[in-house]
Amino acid sequence: MHSSDNESGAKAGAGSRSIAYKLADAQQEISVAEFFEKNKQILGFDSRSKSLLMGVKEAVDNALDACEEAEILPIINVKIERFEDDDYKISVDDNGPGIVHKAMPNVYGRLLYGSRFHAYKQSRGQQGIGISASVMYGYLTTGQSAHIISKISGEDEVAWEMDIVVDTKNNRPRITNDRAFTWDRDHGTSVEFTIKGRYVTGKQSIFEYLKNTAIVNPHAYITFQDPDGTKWTFENATEITPVKPKEIKPHPEGMEIGDLMKFAHSSNQKDVQSFLRNEFSRVTKRIADEILELAGVNPKTSPKKLTRDDCANIIKAIGKVKIMAPQTDCLSPIGDTLIKKGLMHVMDGLRPDYYATPVTRNPRTVNGNPFVVEAGIVYGGEIPSDGQVNILRFANRVPLLYQQGACAVTKAISDMDWRRYGLEQRGGKGIPYGPAIIMVHVASTKVPFTSEGKEAIASYPEILNEITAALRLCARNLKSHLNKIERRSKTRAKFDIVQKILPDLAIKTAKYLNRPVPALDRTITKIMNVVWIEPSVEKINKNERRYTYTIYNYTDKVRNFGLHAHLPKESVNLALFSDPCFKEMDDNGRAFWEIRELQPSVTTVITFELKGEMADTFAEEDIYISGISPVIVMGADPLPGDWGLEGLEITEEEEYSVEDNDEDEEDEILEDDEFEKEAKE
């Protein structure tokens, strides 16, 4: 090599070295607040209209979480004022337990600061980002600080107020005007901040968010004043507060290798057997020994010494060992009755024909986090029938209004064949069309959102399977209702014709033959061959209903059967069940009447009353029968096999065969049962 080549190579090497040092010197730690300041779209602040909604959402979510922690019925007031240049002041106050004075700056002025991130229990907020991010965005777009007032309960306690700004360089709060004063309430919090935004109406509006919040939080009283001064009130539909979730340990199912290694290496347990027993839920000594034996790991090994291969083998072994489902007390699902109450309370203006019996699934796990899926369907009435069904998505009682197409809920709905359940669906794929509203709620200790904006649920197979299973059950209830309505309509038309034509024919024939008009009851009975159950409901007052079931035996045999209803147990008063046919009711509100010796052409009546705020959640058509072929019964479905109450077995021979039944429905139930089996496996 020539000397000139050596010199040029040395210069290039020296130049490269100097650039590398410059690049190294330029590297510095980035504040998490500064990162989100420059990437605010990640938090959901990617448009003016959405930013305004996010500000309201985060403040309301915090208020609801605080009230539920303190087991207080929430009273939340939301107000939006419009200023010049698209500046809006958001004001949200609540009657929650308040915030301790020294904690106020960090709650509102510091990102990734909170108490729920490491807690394995259901809550709306978990990351410690929401409200402080709104405060940060408000200052970024308007230059105005947030004003916070809070007071905790106690005779000697005073209220504190302060102005807060997020110092994004250091992710620390800057406080001004910090002072104590006398506030005319016992406890609560008020937050005000100005934000650059755009107020809109429609599906992704603040009004829609609050309306949907009222559906899944029927215990909350919410008022809203929009920028034009119009006021709305979403009254609480119930005073039953949600069950307060308890913190649990992580469940081993769905755990990843890296997670297990992290838990193991930070554990203070002396051996791996104690580590599994004491730091995971549902793991007993027997299960821990079984897992370690399958994994080939010595139970006396220190968890800190577990290798990657050890953890991988333990993960495989966990998948082979039968472990109990996670505890449900870490979650606070809404429950079937309250879902229906919330939907009825908010959807009343649409006057729907039917609320398909809501479904609450058993808990499952994803990545070691327990979750529960709930679903409900509203059908008919004034719900538009010419467009796609309206999808209501919720996670931990919070409405999800954006990124519908990226959500697991939408994917599960689109992948189902809704045509077999009575809704139109072009090609058997995609969102169905028809007069329906489909609601899905996912409750989890850690909902797997697709982004920090918490707008869509990730499509994990476990979650998709559970959503699909819940939707299938709801859809089956809807189809059963539609079939019942169609069959009742056809039978009633037949009955009306028989009752009109036969008497006229008998009168004319008797007159022509100069003989007495014959009794037609037996003849009509033979033609109809049905046990007809006619329901009716009488509204006595706001919280009291009287239900009456008139049962006609239009068959030529004496009939014995059971009548069943799943009643809201909060509204049941057994003193109002004086009917001699009434037999029993279990702790879940499942009631049983026994009809004996009902003669042909004879009628019997069953009556009962429900009292209380849940009385209207029972639909009079939700009645079941046992001990008789469902084919010859009009107005009741067969008793579900999973009921705790034992019905009457069919002992008499009925004149029907399997072919007389709805073969499509039989196939559908078999397919759903097969789906359930696959999901469990």
CATH code, 670: 2.60.40.1170
**CA distances, 405 to each of 57, 180, 247, 410 (Å):** 21, 48, 32, 6
**CA distances, 388 to each of 65, 348, 363 (Å):** 33, 20, 30
Say whether both 23 and 103 belong to one domain: no
3-state secondary structure 424-449: ECHHHCCCCECCEEEEEEEEECCCCE
Mean pLDDT, the chain, rounded, equals 82
Q: What is the CA radius of gyration of the chain?
A: 32
Closest CA to 466 of 445, 442, 431: 442
421 found inside a domain: no
- Give the pLDDT of residue 26: 63
Which of 199-203, 343-347, 466-470, 643-647 bottoms out in mean pLDDT, i.e. has the lowest?
A: 643-647
- Give the pLDDT of residue 386: 86
Q: Who wins on pLDDT, 285 or 13?
A: 285
- Give the pLDDT of residue 5: 56
Kindly state the tokens that stand for 257: 């290798």
- Give the pLDDT of residue 681: 53
Say whether both 11 and 56 belong to one domain: no
- Taking the CA atoms of 214, 217, 220 and 222 in sequence, report the sign of the dihedral they define: negative
* DSSP sequence for 441-500: EEEESS--BSSTT--SB---HHHHHHHHHHHHHHHHHHHHHHHHHHHHHHHHHHHHHHHH
> Does residue 660 have a pLDDT over 50?
no
Provide the 3-class DSSP secondary structure of residue 111.
coil
Say whether both 138 and 171 belong to one domain: yes
Q: Who wins on pLDDT, 641 or 104?
A: 104
Can you point out the beta strands (E) in 197-310? Answer: 221-225, 231-234
Rounded CA-CA distance 123/116 in Å is 8
- Give the pLDDT of residue 33: 54
Say whether both 196 and 272 belong to one domain: no
Q: Are strands 364-366 and 354-360 parallel, antiparallel or unpaired?
A: unpaired
- Give the pLDDT of residue 219: 92
- Taking the CA atoms of 437, 466, 446 and 448 in sequence, report the sign of the dihedral they define: negative
Residues 6+ apart with CB under 8 A from 630: 636, 637, 638, 661
Q: Which residues span the domain enclosing 13?
A: 3-29
Proportion of the chain above pLDDT 70, given as a percent: 85
> Does residue 645 have a pLDDT over 60?
no
Say whether both 119 and 21 belong to one domain: no
Kindly state the tokens that stand for 198: 């755009």
Q: Crossing angle, helix 461-513 and helix 408-415, to 10 degrees?
A: 40
- Give the pLDDT of residue 674: 55
pLDDT bracket for residue 671 (50, 70, 90): low
Q: Who wins on pLDDT, 366 or 160?
A: 160
Domain count, the chain: 4
Say whether both 41 and 189 belong to one domain: yes
pLDDT bracket for residue 76 (50, 70, 90): very high
Q: What is the pLDDT of residues 224-254, one digit of tens each?
A: 999 999 999 999 988 888 888 887 788 887 6
334: buried, middle or exposed (CB in 10 Å: 19+, 13-18, 0-12)?
buried
Say whether both 12 and 43 belong to one domain: no
Q: What is the pLDDT of residues 364-387, one digit of tens each?
A: 888 768 899 999 999 988 888 888
Q: What is the pLDDT of residues 448-497, one digit of tens each?
A: 888 777 889 999 999 999 999 999 999 988 888 888 888 777 777 777 77
Provide the 3-class DSSP secondary structure of residue 335.
coil
What's the mean pLDDT in 292-316? 91
435 found inside a domain: no
- Give the pLDDT of residue 676: 54
Q: What is the pLDDT of residues 523-552, one digit of tens each?
A: 777 777 888 898 999 988 888 899 999 999
Q: What is the pLDDT of residues 582-591, one digit of tens each?
A: 888 888 888 8
- Give the pLDDT of residue 661: 43
Kindly state the tokens that stand for 334: 């809404």
Say whether both 113 and 144 belong to one domain: yes
Which of 7-16, 277-286, 518-527 bottoms out in mean pLDDT, i.e. has the lowest?
A: 7-16
* DSSP sequence for 77-88: EEEEEE-GGGEE
Say whether both 201 and 268 belong to one domain: no
Q: What is the pLDDT of residues 414-432, one digit of tens each?
A: 999 999 888 898 877 899 9
CB 412 within 8 A of CB 471: yes
Element (H, E) at 597: strand 590-598
Say whether both 96 and 205 belong to one domain: yes
Say whether both 198 and 167 belong to one domain: yes
